[in-house]
Chains A and B, each alone.
Chain A
Amino acid sequence: MKLTVKDLNSFYGPAHILFDIALEVGEGEVVALLGRNGAGKSTTFRSIVGLVENRSGRVMFEGRDVSDLPTHAIVRGGLGYVPEERRIFTDLTVEENLEVGRQPKRPGAPQWDREKLFKLFPNLGEMRSRPGGRMSGGEQQMLTIARTLMGNPSLVLLDEPSEGLSPKIVEQMVDAILAMKKEGVSIVVSEQNLHFARLISDRAYIIERGRICFGGTMAELDARPDVRDAHLSL
């Protein structure tokens, strides 16, 4: 397994947010984490990369227990994270944003550099010295993915990549994710949009009120319209 999460519990102050989350991601797989607003998708990702301080449970990445490592060490180990709010450095240019994400090459992981990423996201190549703050939402979304890929991750947590984007840009996003998969990057993508998830994912988990309530292939999910209707708004 590329990534195994077991018994993950998370808290914000006194509030218990995640309950015994368990996930598995295989080598080269694209797995969707589906759920409504506030179901706990982002918190799951933030907990995996160590951005939620108050958490318990096991996170195994490439056979290594990374639960107690600080965020930067987890990420350096090859577990990339693309946050939902994009969090582009607005004062930095496109190239400088990519520079922040750059990490040494890692044997066994797909490798990326600026030129390769500009091929994957041609828009970015045309605005290399534009400050991040003067880009459209779609361009920022591409930049934040490209920035994470600069760290040569072998697995990427993608938090709601389609959120707030126009259908045209969503199409480009699908292509980009499939291209990443082809390069050999394992991906966990959180989504509210089942249609989008279906285009890219091999398997899916559904999360509701901080608990995983379904896990299986996309075909298995399609065979359970009751589950789908109960936990996802279409």
Chain B
Amino acid sequence: MAFYIVQFLTGLASAASLFLVASGLSIIFGVTRIVNFAHGAFYMLGAYVAFTLTERFSGAFGFWGGILVAALAVAAIGVLVEMVLLRRIYHSPELFQLLATFGLTLMVEDLVVLIWGPDDLVGRRAPGFKGAIDFFGQNIPSYDLFLIVLGPVVLGVLWLLFQRTRWGVLVRAATQDRDMVAALGVNQKWLFTSVFALGVFLAALGGALQIPRDAVNHAMDLRVIVEVFVVVVIGGLGSIIGAFVAAVLVSELNAFGILIFPKISIILVFLVMAVVLIVRPWGLFGKPEAPARRTPGLTVNPWRPLTVNERLAAIAVLVVAAALPFVAGNYLLTVGSEIAIFVIFAVSLHFLMSVGGLASFGHAAYFGLGAYGVALLAKMVGLPMIACLLLGPLLGLMGAAVFGFFAVQLSGVYFAMLTLAFAQIVWSIAFQWVSVTGGDNGILGVWPEKWAASPSHFYWLSLGIAALAVVILRIIVFSPFGFALRATRDSPLRSEAIGINGKRIQWTAFVIAGTVAGLAGALFAYLKGSVFPDNMGISLSVDALVMVLLGGVETVSGAVVGAIVYKALNIWLVSQTDLSKLVLGGFVVLIVVAFPKGIVGTLEAYMHRRRKSSSSAPSPLLTSRIESAE
């Protein structure tokens, strides 16, 4: 019995930091409507800065002062980020806000390695809380008891701040109607900045307080952000009480889950989250949101199928691409195959994002499932390559069917958070379930059969499947199903009013996208001859998002161009620098701020304007910025 109580107390202690980070995320979202994907990065920075300060200054004062100063310093960085970056994108669609803050996360990860090095850092124990307390023969670290008390104290302080101060009243008012607050003479800019500072402070404090418990490392940002997303989805985004209750719930599930499913304890949390989503999609303490804000797509040039001439041009381009093996060497052909595979992957996400209006931040899960599907079939069952290629993507299909069912219950930022969390869950299963997936070592020796083994043959195979995937997805876009999907994207209420079952349409789109991504993953497994957990990692999901963004979110097939340009650049970049995440993150932020229409979108707008200017004034729709209406 004592053991279970100690386990319970450990859970409570873990809940404290989780609550700090989650409440910060909730507060920021409430007022700015931005889900700050960089929140985990601020948490990590808090831990690193606190580590440096507490190492530098000794004594109890040095330790506690160091933790506080670290949180304040990171909050100051947050203020800078808000003023320089976020102020430019408050009126952008959610997708761009998510991407920009995600780009920030990537940059911070590399910067942290650059400053503090790649190794884990073990911090000091907290002065005054170094020992442990004996509890019926079980030890409880006294620092854990400190954290257990700290959680409710912070909750109380936040409650007072929001209920008893003018600032708190303004924040609560702005959470409901920020325009009205401005119409009463309140300067929103500083309100937003101060709210962001508080949220970041809480995240950094959560990170700083972890150093006596855990080693500081450069992967802690993603680990915590996934848990935080799960917490706010369960507790309800925007609710501080919800963040507290859900943080305790999730931490206890983790603490006891380890006893039940030692290898895949995350399953338990996932099950609870699934139940909450079915019963209360807006979380235990949240409120139902009004229908999501407009997604990119309304300002597009009206979509149309290609004309005969354009089709001929597309075929000509394909023929030229197919002629590559007659002039290029093996390395170039392998690169070409990889690009073709990523075209498939990117168009599958583009289909979900642009046509379906569902921005998935975890699309790599289905790519990876397809790859693992092939690897398991080939290695364990020993099926021939054709069968593997046909059946492997079915694992992606099944994953998309299960996760997609829950994900489409939500929209907008909730959808993005949930897809990211699902992808992390799939990733950790691949990582932890060593007996089946090989864990970190992956599955090796998945080579294509003779007929596809040569670089030129494999290139033709990839190119052919890529062309087929693009054509099929375009046919779907211009089919009645595609129209229904776009109708649901543009106005969920109106499409429902004309009898479209929006959720089922979106679920179907999710499954289609997941299956096509699985197909790309299946080919990728054969190209590399192996699969690893990284094939379903977050950075791959981000790669896909950037490809779509680079091509143009508002286009029909911009992702094809985006994938080719991005993948070619990426392969070149990785060969040039070790700081690819820093460059990539900066690139993402730059596109969002300066170049939101992407390559194809910009070209289309330019062509359209030229055509128009010869006849009449340009349509204001085309010259308008991409912006969301509320």
Chain A contacts to B: CB under 8 angstroms? 13-14, 49, 51, 70-73, 75-76, 81, 83, 87, 89-92, 96-97, 99-103, 147-148, 151
Which of A13, A70, A92, A101 is the one whose CB lies under 8 Å from B184? A101
Looking at the assembled complex, report how far the CB atom of B179 sits from the nearest CB atom of chain A, in whole angstroms.
7
Q: Which of B166-174, B360-368, B425-433 contacts A (4 or more CB under 8 A)?
A: B166-174
With A and B bound together, what is the CA distance between A3 and B183 in angstroms? 18
Q: How far is the CA of A76 from the CA of B189 in the complex (A)?
A: 15
- Taking CB atoms and an 8 Å cut-off, the chain B residues in 187-221 that contact chain A are 187-188
Q: With a CB–CB cut-off of 8 A, which chain A residues contact B624? A: 13
Given contacts A13-B620, A72-B187, A72-B188, 13 further A-B contacts (CB under 8 A): A14-B621, A51-B183, A71-B179, A71-B182, A72-B182, A75-B182, A75-B184, A89-B172, A90-B176, A92-B169, A92-B172, A96-B169, A100-B181
Say whether B289 faces chain A, with CB atoms less than 8 Å apart: no
In the assembled complex, B449 has its CB within 8 A of some CB on chain A: no
The number of chain B residues touching the other chain, given as a range, is: 20 to 34
> A75 to B621, Cβ gap below 8 A?
no
Known: A13-B624, A14-B621, A151-B185. A83 touches B180 (CB 8 A): yes
Is the Cβ of B173 less than 8 Å from the Cβ of A72? Answer: no
Chain A nearest CB from B293 CB (Å) reads: 16
Q: In this complex, what residue of B is CB-closest to A104?
A: B185
CB neighbours of B620 from chain A (8 A): 13-14
Q: Which residue of B lies closest to A96 (CB)?
A: B169
Closest to B170 in A: A100
Interface string of B142-186 (1 = CB under 8 A from A): 000000000000000000000000100110110011011111111
CA of A97 to CA of B188, assembled, Å: 17
Within 8 Å of chain A (Cβ to Cβ): is B441? no
> Is B184 touching A99 in the complex (CB atoms < 8 A)?
no
Are A147 and B173 also in contact (CB < 8 A) when A14-B619, A51-B179, A99-B166 are?
no
Contact present for A89 and B183 (CB under 8 Å): no
Cα–Cα, bound, A73→B182 (Å): 9
Q: Are B183 and A71 in contact (CB under 8 A)?
A: yes
Closest Cβ neighbor of B165 among chain A residues: A99
In the docked arrangement, what's the CA distance between A102 and B180, Å?
13
A-B contact pairs, 30 of them (CB 8 A): A13-B620, A14-B621, A70-B187, A71-B179, A71-B182, A72-B182, A72-B183, A72-B188, A75-B182, A75-B184, A75-B185, A81-B183, A83-B180, A87-B177, A87-B180, A89-B176, A90-B176, A91-B172, A91-B176, A92-B173, A92-B176, A96-B172, A99-B166, A99-B169, A100-B170, A103-B184, A103-B185, A147-B184, A151-B184, A151-B185
Chain B CB within 10 Å — which of A13, A51, A100 has the most? A100
- Decide if A89 touches B180 in the complex (CB within 8 Å): yes
> How far is it, in angstroms, between the C-alpha of A188 and the C-alpha of B458 when the chains are bound?
75
